Structure 1
Amino acid sequence: MSHLYYPKELSWLAFNERVLQEAQDINNPVIERVRFLGIFSNNQDEFFRVKVAEIKRKALLKKAEGDLKSLNKYQILIDNIQRQVIKLNDKFNQTYQQIQQELKKNGIEIITHEHLSQYHQQWLKQYFTNKVLRYTQPLIISNLIDFPSCIEDHLTYLFVELNNQNKYQYAAIEVPCTETNRFVLLPKEKSSNIQKIILLDDVVCFSLTDIFKGLFVFDDITAYSFKITRDAEYLLSEQDLDDSILMKMSKSLKQRLHADPVRIVCDEQMPSRMENKLKKLLGFTSYDSTSPGSRYRNFKDFIKFPNVGKVNLRYTKWPALDNQQFCKYNTTFEAISEQDILLYYPYHKFHHFKEFVRQASFDPAVTSIKLNIYRVAKKSQIIGSLLDAVRNGKKVTVNVELRARFDESNNIEWSKKMTDAGIKVLFGIDSLKVHSKLCLVNRVEQGKIVKYAQVSTGNFNEDSAKIYTDFAFFTKNQLIAEEVDNVFKFIEHSYKDVHFDHLLISPINQRKRLNQLIKSEIKNAKANLPAKIILKLNNLVDKKLIDKLYDASNAGVDIHLIIRGMCSLKPGLPGISERITVTSIVDRYLEHARVMLFQNNGAPLVFITSADWMARNIEDRVEVGLPIYSPPLKQQITDILELQINDNCKARIIDQQQKNDYVSSKNLKKLSSQREIYQYLKQCENHD
């Protein structure tokens, strides 16, 4: 049966190849291409920290159990991943070289310390002394230190070799990117209009002698960059029963600092003698990945490449749109009372949601506010409004998901601050992550409590709302709002029986309802009635649901899938998935909204949801799918889906080999869905 499913790990790498394609696309502004290199690099790091680390743990477990058949399966997968990673690294390096040439054509040059003019050498010596030296702390390698535990996985290091009459001393230097800018803009020389940029890595390399002289004797000194990637998994101890969940999480996060490394990436110019020494010091095994790379490691910082040069080297800004319904009324509550409202970030302003919470924080009629937090900004105006609400005598309840990967520390800090302020802070359910994005406001109107609900496909995060596409739905429909309140009750008291007629809730009724919706389309197809399914998801890897889609395809249901990331379903298999097409869109915004449309014999059922079709989202998380009942809003979502299906600029075909060929625009007018959606929504908002 394995031939029916594409390995999810390799599919994830195929997704990241699509990100790399955006860096390769000469039609994209060159500085944005640089930033896509940063996104690609950041994604690769996360892939090794999560996916590869998980495979490594499973392989080691099977080895310990003596299960050689399973061990061999994981080893084959690791080998396939390694081959694909090497291929992508080669493409990455070629792309970076091409982009450097394009930057130079536009008056921007990234230079190394070997190519500094006399003027820039003198300037850089002063810069290093005044701005960088104070943050430079060499780690001298000896038997006195535990070297692996001193190296963190989110940082760039230089591995330094000091040679004194063929006797070698080694050291590691952290490139201090958190204390000062990774990109140093060199002053322009009188004879040139070129803006030269040198990376902090090279600034430190240029100053190596100054760092070590007087303290060490050496004839020669060299340095090459490296970084490691550690296993991001951690264990919550079942011991220490008296510990709060906050204390357990804080302790467990420290495991990441000392977790086993799963990858080392070093400068391809690093001599084999130094590379072998480094691997030995870090304790690398045959299950770990070693990748040669370009001169610089931690390309994720290139996401923040400086805005230099002409404005046409960057994306033309699309100003976020005001929602006219919100703008027509004095308060957000009046606007929502008039009709349901749908926003689509980042095309619409996130300001409207912030204003909803801000007004609730001091509205005399509001009695309580409830909110789920999965990821929030480090400087969150939303939490600021919740703190104000407590000061104004409102009852505020916030469920914080402490296990939101890589946001745990931020969420722990906010939890402490909110608890100190008097907010009732919940930490969800031990066995389930709370991934739903809900806000509920209780308001007294004509002597009765009226509930206002907001359901979103994305986080309440001011930062990600600028780059992630997500739907946010506001309603005063009491049937929906009551069920949103029941989700909060389920989170707080998971042992209580709660019932849902409208919302699709993981793990309560989500799988059952999805199966029913697919089965209904199958029934219609067999009765020669119109039958179609459109799904827009981040990931599709749940084999049980994939099998249901295969069944639907065989029954005659037309299925179009828009999958941003992992897709284990194989379209076009004879007799299995011939009626299924899959595309993936990667563009300036990260496609994050999850949408489901079932044709339902001409009366379409449309849902927005926080859940991808993965076993963890269906069974191991609290997720919410929302039916859209408003005909105009249902039509708006349908129109947006149609634009995405017809994209022939940024859409790739996901075939059985996941080759990432672009959808052909031959003989067709070019259509970039994100650009068209912006124009479509702009027209919708101006219509009134």
Structure 2
Amino acid sequence: MMTKSRKKSPFLNREISWLYFNERVLQEAADESVPLIERIRFLSIFSSNLEEFYRVRVATMSRLANLNEKSKELLGFNPKKVLNEIKNLVVKQEKRFEQLFQDILINELARNRIFILNDTQLNVARGTFVKDYFRDKILSNLVPVMVDPEKPFPELKDRHLYFFVRLNKKTGSGRERYALVELPPFLSRFLVLPETHDLKFIILVEDIVRYCLDDLFFTFMYDSIEAYTIQVTRDAELDIDKNVSDKFIDDLKSSLEKRKKGKPMRLLYDSDMPMQMLNTLVAKLKLQAESLIPGNRYHRFGDFIAFPNVGSASLNYPSLPPLKVKDLHRTQSIFAKMADRDYLVNLPYQSYDYIILFLREAAIDPKVAEINITLYRLAENSKVVNALINAAKNGKKVNVLVELKARFDEQANIFWTSKLLEEGVNVNYGLTDYKVHSKICLVKRMEKDRPVYYANLATGNFNEKTAGIYCDHSLFTVKKEITGDLVKLFEALNKRTVTRGFKHLIVSPLESRSKIYKLIDREIRHAKQGKLAYMILKVNSLADEGIVNKLYQASNAGVKIQLIVRGICCLVPGVSGYSENIRVISIIDKYLEHARVFIFANNGKEDMYLSSGDFMTRNFEHRVEVGFPILDKNVKEEIREIIELQLQDNTKAREITRLNNNKYYRTRAAKKIRAQVDIYNYLKAKHST
């Protein structure tokens, strides 16, 4: 759905653009060159993405649909029409998903002598094995809830799996009864059955339950029983008091409980369910037609990210060892190395251990007096938090800003906040009106009675788990241009406020938009003067209308623009009079492209910035984001080489065009370039010792 904004420039609706992105994820599942288990995982990622989309974006759009006509005019689009287009696109994608599910999970696995069995395909021996497993591990966790026609329908939990069951009798009163059976999320989703003749067998927990329904409903007199899986996705937006105080955590906990009972946004149901059962269910849940999404017998496909590989290692991508950073060593001081020059860690290709070692050294170095850091998403067993706690125990002043409003990580961040407070760390819960999304750390070290500052700034979170699958850049620097601005920024954050007047950093919410506009305006001015003018911009999402219009202006002035956008792209390339000088690609591959990189020609004196924020309105106006210049020549050259490989990718890059057909970018070049593989090889060669 390409709409005209109030300025009449082409602007693709962000929800529709996001669905085109998720289609690119589905393309990876369809790609036969991708190892089989990885294809299953891409199906899982597609499914998880879609769940979150319904919980957040469709929920928001549903609220907007209730606005009056004047409000819709101010929005620039009709939410009801967008919801209808969302439904149409999702139904098409779900059909494609089902086709891939059948092909991959049935046919392709079978070719590899791996079989997923359902409840009708068990022989006597395997049936006995399943019955024993059900009685030992599952039965005590299942409690059927009978549906009483005279009472309210039981509350269905968000994203939990349920069986909707119909018990039938041929004669007598009450010939049919309905029941709900919840499958607790802690139950193992997959059971590997005994191998026979070098054949591997797997059964899902749903089919185990189906096979053992008699054990579950043995107290009822019935002639037949039917059971079909369903899953409800609810509105996940939080409604919380914005006052940041000691009471904030309690308010947040209360809102998290309310999230579990949010308005149903989607009912995913087994399309084999008889129409009478479906009508009964829809009436009880009071759902609208646009909320109904037919699926197959298996839901909550996000669990398939952990699908067991019982076959050969070739069914997975090979595990590549994380590379070293040349001249940084585990047994030598990182601070001493940083004093000489900047260092860059390119994740996940290079080891995240360097960031942990930096924090560990800060925790034990007697000259370190203070550590300031912002935390957004953390690993389950966080080495980052452990290092900060040890620093506090060693007498360092440790100031940690934990963003409690990090969506879907609220509960985890409440836990870490409590843990840090218990250990004597100074914890800031965040700001009243803004999410703190920056990824920055500043260490104050006393050298010759004077403070010297050591900084780490990154495009991704201080999270060692996601650092193994997210492509990000993490910079170590002592350059005063950067550390001086960071001192000012942390002084403001520790007072729970925001400020302006940064000389070198690009900081939201008060300065990012104006500074990015000035950098674009400089390229426009150079283009009009016949000077070298171009931009290379890499982001996860491009959805801010002001930035889109500014890029159109630059294109019309003759600035050559190359965009690498993984997800949402509301800008429409190749439109006459708007975007003829703009090329957009999207790379979806083994790792998640997450880095934000901004490169400006500056008439041959190239400027380069890394950033924590995308080109979305929220990143400019509602979050604390930090963009930082790359001032070290060697670091700049390394990032430039990486970006160049991504621009040349002719294997996993898709062209984003006005057709939105996600066509793979192909060239006649003899050399096949797959950016993520070639980047690893480039870094391996460059950093080998």
Cα distance in 2 between the residues matched to 1:66 and 1:561: 33
Output the amino acid matched with 2:360.
R
1:156 partnered with 2:156: no
Map of 2:586 onto structure 1: 584
How far off is 1:497 after superposition?
A: 4.8
Q: 1:187 to 1:431 in 2, by over 3 A?
A: same
Summarize the alignment of residues 644-683 of structure 1 with structure 2, pairs less than 5 Å apart. 644-683=646-685
How far off is 1:141 after superposition?
A: 2.1
How far off is 1:322 after superposition?
A: 1.3
For residue 60 of structure 1, give the secondary structure of its aligned residue in structure 2.
Answer: coil
How far off is 1:416 after superposition?
A: 1.1
Confirm or deny: 8 A CA contact 1:6 1:656 kept in the other structure.
no
1:386 counterpart (379, 385, 388) = 388
Map of 2:401 onto structure 1: 399
Map of 1:370 onto structure 2: 372
How far off is 1:494 after superposition?
A: 5.1
Output the amino acid matched with 2:262.
A
How far off is 1:148 after superposition?
A: 5.2
Summarize the alignment of residues 317-328 of structure 1 with structure 2, pairs less than 5 Å apart. 317-327=319-329
Map of 2:601 onto structure 1: 599
Cα distance in 2 between the residues matched to 1:469 and 1:571: 25
For residue 21 of structure 2, give the secondary structure of its aligned residue in structure 1.
Answer: helix
Q: 1:379 to 1:329 in 2, by over 3 A?
A: closer
1:169 counterpart (177, 192, 208) = 177
2:259 counterpart (239, 249, 256) = 256
1:35 counterpart (38, 41, 65) = 41
Cα distance in 1 between the residues matched to 2:249 and 2:151: 31
Confirm or deny: 8 A CA contact 2:374 2:439 kept in the other structure.
yes
Cα distance in 1 between the residues matched to 2:395 and 2:71: 61
Q: Residue deviations 1:47-91, cap 9 Å, x none?
A: 10111000001112438x997998992111111111100110111
Confirm or deny: 8 A CA contact 1:486 1:498 kept in the other structure.
no
How far off is 1:145 after superposition?
A: 6.4
Confirm or deny: 8 A CA contact 1:419 1:425 kept in the other structure.
yes
How far off is 1:147 after superposition?
A: 3.6
Cα distance in 2 between the residues matched to 1:358 and 1:495: 29
Cα distance in 2 between the residues matched to 1:628 and 1:509: 19
Output the amino acid matched with 2:305.
I
Map of 1:182 onto structure 2: 189
1:8 partnered with 2:14: yes
Cα distance in 2 between the residues matched to 1:202 and 1:380: 36
Map of 2:542 onto structure 1: 540
CA RMSD between the two structures? 1.9
- Give the TM-score normalised by structure 1: 0.96
Cα distance in 2 between the residues matched to 1:629 and 1:530: 21
Confirm or deny: 8 A CA contact 1:649 1:671 kept in the other structure.
yes
1:277 counterpart (276, 280, 301) = 280
Output the amino acid matched with 1:223.
A
Output the amino acid matched with 2:223.
D
Confirm or deny: 8 A CA contact 2:471 2:592 kept in the other structure.
yes
Map of 2:299 onto structure 1: 297
Cα distance in 1 between the residues matched to 2:145 and 2:65: 33
Q: 1:460 to 1:72 in 2, by over 3 A?
A: closer
Cα distance in 2 between the residues matched to 1:329 and 1:416: 33
Summarize the alignment of residues 138-157 of structure 1 with structure 2, pairs less than 5 Å apart. 138-142=144-148, 146-147=152-153, 149=155, 151-157=156-162
How far off is 1:479 after superposition?
A: 2.6
1:354 partnered with 2:356: yes
Summarize the alignment of residues 466-545 of structure 1 with structure 2, pairs less than 5 Å apart. 466-493=468-495, 497-545=499-547
Cα distance in 1 between the residues matched to 2:330 and 2:380: 32
For residue 512 of structure 1, give the secondary structure of its aligned residue in structure 2.
Answer: helix
Q: Percent identity?
A: 41
2:124 counterpart (118, 121, 143) = 118
Q: Residue deviations 1:474-530, cap 9 Å, x none?
A: 111123112112222222335575520000000121111100000000111111111
Cα distance in 2 between the residues matched to 1:195 and 1:23: 22
Map of 2:221 onto structure 1: 217
Confirm or deny: 8 A CA contact 1:649 1:665 kept in the other structure.
no
Map of 2:56 onto structure 1: 50
Q: 1:600 to 1:176 in 2, by over 3 A?
A: same
Map of 1:98 onto structure 2: 103
Confirm or deny: 8 A CA contact 1:236 1:249 kept in the other structure.
yes
How far off is 1:252 after superposition?
A: 1.1
Which range moved further: 470-479 or 659-668? Answer: 659-668
For residue 115 of structure 1, give the secondary structure of its aligned residue in structure 2.
Answer: coil
- Give the TM-score normalised by structure 2: 0.96
Confirm or deny: 8 A CA contact 1:490 1:498 kept in the other structure.
no
Map of 2:89 onto structure 1: 84
Cα distance in 2 between the residues matched to 1:224 and 1:182: 16
1:565 counterpart (561, 564, 567) = 567
Output the amino acid matched with 1:298.
R
Q: Residue deviations 1:195-241, cap 9 Å, x none?
A: 01110111111111101102x222211111110110110111369x9
Summarize the alignment of residues 602-641 of structure 1 with structure 2, pairs less than 5 Å apart. 602-641=604-643
Output the amino acid matched with 1:280.
A
Cα distance in 1 between the residues matched to 2:151 and 2:477: 59
For residue 338 of structure 1, give the secondary structure of its aligned residue in structure 2.
Answer: coil
Q: 1:66 to 1:244 in 2, by over 3 A?
A: closer
Q: Which consecutive residues of structure 2, in runs of 5 or more, have no partner in the other structure?
A: none
Map of 2:232 onto structure 1: 228
How far off is 1:338 after superposition?
A: 2.0
How far off is 1:117 after superposition?
A: 1.2
Summarize the alignment of residues 303-318 of structure 1 with structure 2, pairs less than 5 Å apart. 303-318=305-320
Cα distance in 2 between the residues matched to 1:284 and 1:229: 12
